[in-house]
């Protein structure tokens, strides 16, 4: 009987202990869930929906704008009452609005800083109290490969905030779709759709990336790319004085040295690696220091492999260009190189690159296109804005001669390509009405340096005729007096406001 009572007492105590333990666990789970919900809510409130009205110039008729279009993107609140987003979300924007999570009101916003190169922009809202209930998110570190990340944003298909998860699958240099820059990017397998652009990639309540583009090649699914923390920090530091400096370029071009024969030919031993300099640009930071056929072996403390990569961590390899990208204008870059088998070290001052080392300048945004109408012929500088006007398949549909010019370097004699884009039919240009997309190399026997040079030659001409010629010898001849006298009539006939773009001829 005593034994039976003791057993009953022990059982009762055990049950009470179990119940107490379960209540503690339940309380702990509840507290943890509540904390997670609070953390999630804070992040959600910091993600902003951005509305823009964009009106880009029409580079086929550069005095006009394309039809305005409305689009949306995402952004995240960072320190200083700023919202971090993509540059392409606000590019060519005439009107920008910001909307908070679970708030139907839209607030007018303004662009504070843009890096089209890095596809990043900073906007803000001047409305008093807009940021008072919003937590600013800090910039974290690059996640490890295979680490899970969360993507926040407002993709198409709904009005509410969307959160998707994925893993970091790759980190390496990529072509940024917005402006064509070649910078470090992270690849994730989370679903990314239009409207996600500019949204944060989150790990441990910190921004570890900014969503910028999805894979559009059609050969892969659920692949997206984000701007990594190193690029974000570079842009944020650049923005401190509100003057855009961008990423430096030391002014040389290279090719890999995978071939053992090539390595030996340029004086490298079997245990040495690097990249071969094939071009040093006149007036660049390395002009006079490096020569063609020098081998760049090391940038700062990064050894360059034979395939042109450097090791950022045990798991991450990327192009050596990243070691240069992380510098700011005015920094000193330490470069180890070999010339005819002899090693040397050079200290190069990082400088802002020119508009382009190619004869065809990269795509520009928030700018007025240049043009000049003379004798009813529309002349424009060749750039990627014009080439991309042939549509998404511009690599196939744009004229071959214009595409080929992208492979030519600038030189002291030639900085830019001038194109006779179209002929506005009139008596002064009879015989040339079907001429289009024609590159002009010389005017009255003088080689053209750039579009401004071309425009000045034509405007200041004192000869009877203007003779335009390309490198193959084909010519277009315009009577100068007839071109001047017919200008007003041609502009009125084709409803063109001016014969040339604003600022082409400073008064």
Helices (H), 46-159: 87-90
User: Strands 206-214, 224-227: parallel, antiparallel or unpaired by DSSP?
Assistant: antiparallel
Query: What are the structure tokens assigned to 263, written together?
Result: 């390595």
Kindly give, in sequence order, each residue whose CB lies less than 8 Å from that of residue 226, ignoring residues fewer than 6 positions away. Answer: 185, 186, 188, 201, 209, 210, 211, 212
Kindly give, in sequence order, each residue whose CB lies less than 8 Å from that of residue 290, ignoring residues fewer than 6 positions away. Answer: 252, 277, 280, 296, 337, 346
Give the catalytic positions in this structure: 88, 119, 197
Sort 159 into a burial class: Cβ within 10 Å, 0-12 / 13-18 / 19+.
exposed
* Sign of the torsion formed by the C-alpha atoms of 103, 104, 110 and 116: positive
Strands (E), 246-355: 252-256, 275-280, 295-299, 302-303, 309-311, 317-319, 332-339, 342-349
Rounded to whole angstroms, the Cα distance separating 60 from 489 reads 21
What is the CB neighbour count within 10 angstroms for residue 301? 9
Helices (H), 414-506: 451-459, 480-485, 487-493
- Per 3-state DSSP, the chain is made up of helix, strand and coil in percentages (nearest 5) of 25, 35, 45
């Amino acid at each position: 009987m005593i034994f039976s009572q003791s057993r009953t007492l022990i059982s009762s105590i055990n049950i009470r202990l179990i119940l107490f333990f379960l209540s503690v666990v339940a309380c702990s789970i509840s507290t943890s869930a509540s904390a997670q919900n609070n953390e999630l809510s804070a992040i959600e409130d910091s993600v902003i929906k951005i509305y823009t009205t964009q009106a880009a110039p029409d580079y086929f008729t550069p005095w006009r704008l394309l039809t305005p279009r409305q689009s949306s993107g995402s952004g995240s609140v960072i320190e200083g009452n700023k919202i971090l987003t993509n540059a392409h979300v606000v590019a060519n924007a005439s009107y920008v609005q910001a909307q908070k999570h679970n708030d139907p009101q839209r607030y007018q916003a303004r662009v504070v800083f843009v890096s089209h190169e890095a596809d990043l922009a900073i906007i803000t809202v001047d409305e008093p109290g807009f940021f008072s209930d919003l937590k600013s998110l800090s910039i974290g570190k690059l996640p490890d490969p295979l680490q899970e990340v969360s993507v926040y944003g407002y993709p198409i298909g709904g009005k509410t905030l969307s959160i998707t998860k994925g893993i970091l699958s790759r980190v390496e240099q990529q072509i940024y779709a917005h402006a064509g820059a070649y910078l470090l990017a992270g690849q994730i397998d989370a679903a990314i759709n239009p409207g996600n652009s500019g949204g944060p990639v989150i790990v441990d309540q910190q921004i570890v990336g900014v969503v910028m583009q999805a894979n559009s090649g059609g050969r892969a699914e659920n692949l997206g790319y984000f701007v990594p923390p190193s690029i974000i920090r570079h842009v944020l530091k650049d923005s401190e004085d509100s003057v855009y400096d961008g990423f430096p370029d030391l002014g040389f071009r290279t090719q890999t040295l995978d071939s053992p024969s090539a390595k030996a030919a340029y004086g490298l031993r079997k245990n040495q690696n690097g990249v071969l300099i094939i071009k040093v640009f006149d007036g660049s930071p390395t002009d006079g220091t490096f020569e063609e056929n020098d081998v760049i072996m090391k940038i700062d403390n990064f050894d360059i492999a034979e395939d042109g990569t450097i090791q950022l961590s045990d798991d991450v390899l990327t192009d050596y260009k990243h070691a240069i990208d992380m510098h700011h204008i005015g920094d000193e870059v330490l470069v180890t190189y070999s010339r005819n088998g002899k090693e040397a070290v050079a200290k190069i001052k990082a400088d802002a690159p020119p508009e382009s080392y190619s004869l065809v300048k990269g795509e520009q945004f928030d700018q007025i296109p240049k043009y000049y109408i003379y004798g009813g012929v529309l002349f424009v500088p060749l750039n990627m804005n014009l080439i991309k006007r042939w549509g998404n398949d511009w690599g196939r549909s744009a004229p071959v001669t214009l595409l080929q010019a992208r492979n030519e370097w600038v030189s002291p004699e030639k900085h830019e390509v001038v194109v006779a884009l179209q002929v506005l039919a009139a008596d002064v240009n009879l015989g040339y009405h079907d001429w289009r997309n024609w590159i002009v190399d010389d005017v009255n026997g003088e080689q053209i340096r750039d579009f401004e040079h071309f425009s000045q030659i034509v405007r200041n001409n004192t000869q009877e005729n203007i003779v335009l010629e390309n490198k193959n010898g084909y010519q277009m001849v315009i009577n100068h007096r007839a071109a001047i006298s017919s200008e007003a009539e041609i502009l009125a006939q084709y409803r063109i406001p001016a014969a040339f773009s604003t600022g082409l001829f400073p008064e």
